[in-house]
């Protein structure tokens, strides 16, 4: 009797235990069902489409060069004389200041002698003109009054009628005049003045040095106005125009300058497939040879979206995330730069894959990070 009761009790325990185990197993099977959307999905970065006005910028890197530079060479022979401001590296000169002076005492004396002879001839000419060519006497008297031994000869009275020209040539006036002018031009080469504001570099001549024609004295590098030369890929160069604004900064992020495109080369560099773009820029902190990074503002595009360059694939396609899976979408690529692309054709709110996935393919299960916000 007791054995029978134990058998009944054991059977009831087994039945109750079976029910409990069944309920637990059912709960475990239902849990994955509620989270089926996330099973096997990879978390990815996406961009939510918000179409609007996108500014197109073209990144550049280039070296700054002064717009003005001049090799300072001697054109005549002689001894260098001291100047009010020494011709040394780092010394700045204003336009018109004396850079170098070569001893010109002998040549100056020769010019004065020739000019004196010309003046004597003029003095003898004027009285004869009163009888031979009275109609031109007044302007030659005026010319005679403007001739000075201390300043260059003035221009000849013009125009010269054939009769007047022949009269002057017969008396040697024209020969003497142009001989003096040539000597004055030669004399001027003994004094070298700065044609623009600049700073000396590479100076290699001291007072007392004997120079000959062609001797290099140094170089004058302009200050104030600079030009940056950069190479731009052919696909981006077509977007640029002379006058486009350019934001520049140092390669280490220091300094800020604003320039404008001054020139665009029409010839492409065959080795780099780029066009040369020249940016006019000025400001403190710039120096010849300095490298700068920058961005050219090449206009705007309406109803567009900017994406990372790698998010746009060949044939103008992007990956969208729809129903937790990747799918292709065709877009219009308005501009493709080095780092980003500007596209059209996407709908508001769509989610574009922006993460690099080497094994991405249509149908791949993904889950946008942060819910795609």
What is the spatial order of strands in the sheet that 325-330 belongs to?
A: 46-48, 351-353, 317-322, 325-330
Phi then psi dihedrals of residue 260, to 5 deg: -140, 150
Residues 160 and 233 in one domain: no
Q: Is residue 227 predicted with pLDDT exceeding 70?
A: yes
Instruction: Tell whether 229 and 286 lie within a shared domain.
Output: yes
- Give CA–CA dist 107/114, Å, rounded: 11
Instruction: Please give the residue range of the domain that contains residue 238.
Output: 59-66+224-300
> In this structure, is residue 275 part of a structural domain?
yes
* Helices 173-188 + 105-132 axis angle, to 10: 150
Cis peptide before 84 (omega within 30 of 0): no
Give the pLDDT confidence score for residue 96 in this predicted structure.
Answer: 94
pLDDT digits (tens, 9 = 90+) for 348-369: 999 999 999 888 889 999 999 8
250 and 277, same domain (yes or no):
yes
- Residues 291, 327: one domain? no
Cβ within 8 Å of residue 130, ≥6 positions away: 137
**Domain finish residue from 245, 271, 300:** 300
Domain membership of residue 216 (yes or no) is: no
pLDDT tens per residue, range 152-196: 999 998 878 889 899 989 989 999 999 999 999 999 999 999 999
Q: Say whether pLDDT at 38 is over 60.
A: no
Residue 29: pLDDT above 60?
no
Please tell me which residue, 21 or 248, carries the higher pLDDT value.
Answer: 248
pLDDT category of residue 31 using cuts at 50, 70 and 90: very low
Close Cβ partners of 306 (under 8 Å, ≥ 6 residues apart): 54, 340, 341, 342
- Which among 242, 271, 300 is the end of a domain? 300
At residue 28, the pLDDT reads 52
> Has residue 322 been placed in a domain?
yes
CB 84 within 8 A of CB 191: no
State percent of the chain over pLDDT 90: 59
- With respect to residue 211, please indicate whether it lies within any of the assigned structural domains: no
Residue 36 maps to a domain: no
pLDDT (0 to 100) of residue 161 = 86
- Helices (H), ranges, 189-322: 234-237
Do 319 and 270 share a structural domain? no
Buried b (16+ CB within 10 A) or exposed e, 61-96: ebebbbebebebebebebebbebeeebeeeeebeee
Indicate the pLDDT class of residue 300, thresholds 50, 70 and 90. confident
Q: Is the pLDDT of residue 33 over 50?
A: no
Give yes or no: residues 138 and 181 share one domain. yes
Predicted pLDDT at 262: 94
> Of 269, 300, 331, which residue sits at a domain end?
300
pLDDT at residue number 16: 55
pLDDT tops 90 at residue 94: yes
Judge whether 152 lies within some domain: yes
| 249 shares a domain with 279 | yes
Kindly give the interhelix angle for 173-188 and 162-170, rounded to the nearest 10 degrees: 80
233 plus 284 within the same structural domain: yes
DSSP labels, 334-348: EEE-SSEEEEE-PPT
Query: Residue 361 sits in a domain of what CATH number?
Result: 2.40.420
Query: Number of folded domains in the chain?
Result: 3
Average pLDDT in the 190-216 region?
Answer: 93
What is the tens place of the pLDDT at every residue in 48-66? 999 999 988 889 999 999 9
In a domain, 172, yes or no: yes
Any idea what the Cα angle at residue 292 is, between residues 289 and 298, rounded to 5°? 130
Output b/e per residue, 302-330; b: 16+ Cβ within 10 A.
eebbbbeeebbeeeeebbbbeebebeebe
Percentage of residues in the chain having pLDDT higher than 70: 88
pLDDT of 249 above 90: yes
Is pLDDT larger for residue 9 or for residue 289? 289
pLDDT at 25 over 80: no
At 318 the three-state DSSP class reads strand
Whether residues 124 and 182 fall in one domain: yes
The CATH number given to whatever domain includes residue 246 is: 2.40.30.170
Instruction: Provide mean pLDDT across the span 25-48.
Output: 62
Domain assignment of residue 286, yes or no: yes
Summary mean pLDDT of the chain? 87
């Amino acid at each position: 009797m007791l054995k029978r009761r134990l058998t009944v009790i054991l059977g009831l325990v087994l039945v109750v235990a079976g029910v409990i185990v069944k309920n637990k197993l059912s709960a475990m099977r239902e849990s994955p069902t509620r989270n089926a959307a996330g099973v096997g999905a990879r978390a990815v970065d996406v961009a939510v489409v918000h179409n609007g006005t996108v500014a197109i910028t073209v990144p550049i890197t280039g070296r700054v060069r002064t717009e003005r530079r001049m090799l300072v060479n001697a054109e005549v022979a002689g001894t260098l004389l001291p100047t009010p401001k020494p011709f040394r590296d780092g010394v700045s000169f204003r336009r018109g200041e004396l850079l170098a002076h070569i001893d010109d005492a002998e040549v100056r004396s020769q010019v004065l002698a020739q000019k004196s002879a010309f003046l004597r001839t003029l003095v003898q000419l004027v009285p004869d003109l009163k009888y031979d060519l009275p109609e031109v006497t007044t302007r030659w008297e005026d010319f005679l009054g403007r001739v000075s031994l201390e300043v260059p000869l003035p221009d000849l009275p013009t125009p010269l009628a054939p009769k007047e020209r022949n009269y002057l040539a017969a008396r040697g006036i024209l020969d003497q005049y142009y001989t003096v002018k040539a000597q004055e031009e030669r004399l001027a080469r003994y004094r070298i003045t700065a044609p623009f504001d600049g700073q000396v570099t590479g100076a290699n001549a001291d007072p007392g040095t004997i120079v000959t024609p062609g001797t290099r004295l140094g170089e004058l590098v302009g200050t104030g106005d600079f030009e940056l030369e950069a190479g731009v890929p052919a696909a981006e160069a077509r977007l640029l125009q002379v006058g486009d604004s350019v934001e520049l900064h140092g390669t280490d992020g220091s300094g800020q300058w604003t320039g404008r495109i001054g020139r665009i080369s029409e010839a492409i560099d065959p080795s780099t497939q780029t066009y040369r773009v020249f940016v006019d820029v000025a400001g403190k902190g710039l120096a010849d040879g300095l490298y700068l990074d920058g961005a050219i503002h090449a206009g705007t595009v309406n109803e567009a979206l900017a994406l990372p360059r790698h998010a746009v694939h060949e044939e103008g396609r992007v990956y969208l995330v729809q129903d937790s899976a990747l799918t292709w979408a065709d877009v219009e690529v308005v501009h493709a730069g080095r780092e980003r692309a500007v596209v059209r054709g996407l709908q508001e709110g769509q989610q574009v894959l922006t993460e690099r996935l080497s094994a991405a393919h249509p149908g791949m299960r993904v889950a946008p990070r942060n819910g795609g916000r």
